[in-house]
Amino acid sequence: MKVVALLLAVSLCVTARSQNTINAYKYVLVPKRFDFLKADNQYGLNTYSKALLADVGFTAFLTDEMLPAELAGNKCNALKMELEEKNSMFATGLTLVLKDCLGNVVYRGKEGKSREKDWAASYSEALRNAFASLSAAQYKYDSALAAPATPAAVNVAPVVVAAATPAISTENKDVLYAQPTATGYQLIDTSPKKVMTLLKTSQQDTFIADDGDVKGIVFKRNGEWFFEYYKEDKHASRKLNIKF
C-alpha cells in the first residue's frame, strides 16, 4: 500500500514546474566583456553593471575577480548577467538578462534606450535605463527560499522496504549541488548539467524525485541521501552525494 501511495504521489506531482526567482540568489557574475563589444569592460559597462547590481542589493563579481568559497566551489549559487543589444539608426537599446548556471532565463528586464550620439554616453544611459525595471522588482535575497516547505497538496508516507525484498543498491560518489527552485531543488553536477528534479513534500528531508529516466523519492537516512525507485518492477536504491 505504501508503494502505491508513493507512486500515486509521484504521478500527481511530476507535472509541477520549477520556476526560479531572483530572490533565491545572492550573487551575480558579470562577464569581463559583453558579446556585442570588442574589448574587456569597453565604455566601462562591465564595472558599471557591477555597481548597478550592488545598488539593487546583489553581491556582484566580475568573472576574473576572486570569489568567496561558497561561490568558487559552486557557480550554480550565482546568476550570470548578460546584455542584449538592439540598436537602431537613432537609438541604442540594451536589455538586462539574468540566467542560472544551466542557461535558463530567471529574469529579463525591459529594454533601456538612449538617443545620445556619443557611444560611451549612449551605452551608459541605455544600461542605466535597462536596470530601471530590476530596481522596480524590489529584489531582496531570501535564504528561506532554499529551505524545505510544506505544501498542502502532497503527503508522502515514509517507504518501508521488506527484508525479504532486498533493493539493488548503488552509490553515486559524484557531488551533486542542490540549486533552489520555487518547488524544491534541481540537482546539478560539476559540468554543470541538471541531473535530477526534487519536489518538496510535507515530510522533512523527503522529496519527489525525477532523473529523467525513472521517478521515485529522495530522502535522508542516518545523515546520508538515497534515491529509491522502481525499474522493471524491481525496487532499487542509490546513494547520492548532495551538497545543499
Backbone angles phi, psi at 220, to 5 degrees: -105, 130
Question: Distance (Å, rounded) from C-alpha 50 to C-alpha 61?
Answer: 7
- The whole-number average pLDDT for the span 12-31 is 68
**Burial of 82 from C-beta contacts in 10 A (0-12 / 13-18 / 19+):** middle
**Amino acid identity, residue 91?**
A
Pairwise CA distance, residues 29 & 123, whole Å: 20
* Encoded amino acid at 116, one letter: E
Q: What percent of the chain has pLDDT over 90?
A: 46
What single string gives the DSSP state of each residue in 23-56? GG--EEEE-SS-TT-SSTTGGGHHHHHHHHHHHH
Above 80 in pLDDT, residue 149?
A: no
- The residues spanned by each domain of the chain are 2-18+147-243, 26-140
State the average pLDDT over residues 116-122. 90
Rounded average pLDDT over 27-32: 95
CATH number for region 26-140: 3.30.160
Give tens-digit pLDDT for 197-219.
999 888 888 999 999 888 999 99
Average pLDDT (213-231) is 90
pLDDT digits (tens, 9 = 90+) for 52-92: 999 999 999 999 899 888 888 888 889 999 999 998 888 99
Kindly state the cell numbers that stand for 4: 502505491
| Structure confidence at residue 11 (pLDDT) | 39
pTM of this prediction exceeds 0.85: no
Specify the range with the lowest mean pLDDT, choosing from 35-49, 92-106, 161-175, 177-191.
Answer: 161-175
